[in-house]
Structure 1
Amino acid sequence: MVMMGLDKLMTNLKSKLKSIKTKKPYDKIEKSESMRVEIRSKKAQKLIQDTLKIADSPNTKSYAF
């Protein structure tokens, strides 16, 4: 009785694994122009934050003109 349950379980697991392996990978979505602009904007904001962090650090020597 227990062996029959294990056999069913193994068969079920094998079929699920096969279905996972045979699934096709997702189609890559092309980036729209608005997505590209947003990515550039985020990169620019990050660069500005990093620059300000370095400029505000106590180790940075700044010269007043």
Structure 2
Amino acid sequence: MVMMGIERLVGSLKSKLRSLKLKKPLYDKIEKSDSMRVEIRSRKARKLIEETLKVADSPKSRSVAF
């Protein structure tokens, strides 16, 4: 008798957890402004330049003339 009550309790807890996982987040998605887009592009450009300079400065790399 006690086992049946525990099984029912566990089953209900599992279903509640599943329903909580399926809910959407409570926040609204923020649209990117033009300044945010520019900042993201400049960060990507700086990162690319940094990686390129690191490869160019390493003694193991050979530069290829195009």
Whether the TM-score (by the shorter chain) exceeds 0.5 is: yes
Structure 2: stretches of 5+ with no match in the other structure? none
What is the RMSD computed on CA atoms of the aligned residues?
2.4
Matched residue SS, 1:30: coil
Identity %: 52
Corresponding residue number in structure 2 for 1:9: 10
Q: Which runs of 5+ in 1 are unaligned?
A: none
User: Which runs of 4 or more aligned residues in structure 1 lie more than 2 Å from their structure 2 counterparts after TM superposition?
Assistant: 18-21, 24-29
Report the TM-score, using the length of structure 2 for normalisation. Answer: 0.66
Distance 2:56 2:20 in 1: 55
Aligned pair count reads 61
- Aligned ranges 1:16-31 → 2 under 5 Å: 16-21=17-22, 23-24=23-24, 27-31=28-32
State the match for 1:60 in structure 2. Answer: 62
After superposition, give the CA deviation of every residue in 1:14-44 in whole Å (9 maximum; x if it has no partner). 13313432x2366432111221122112111
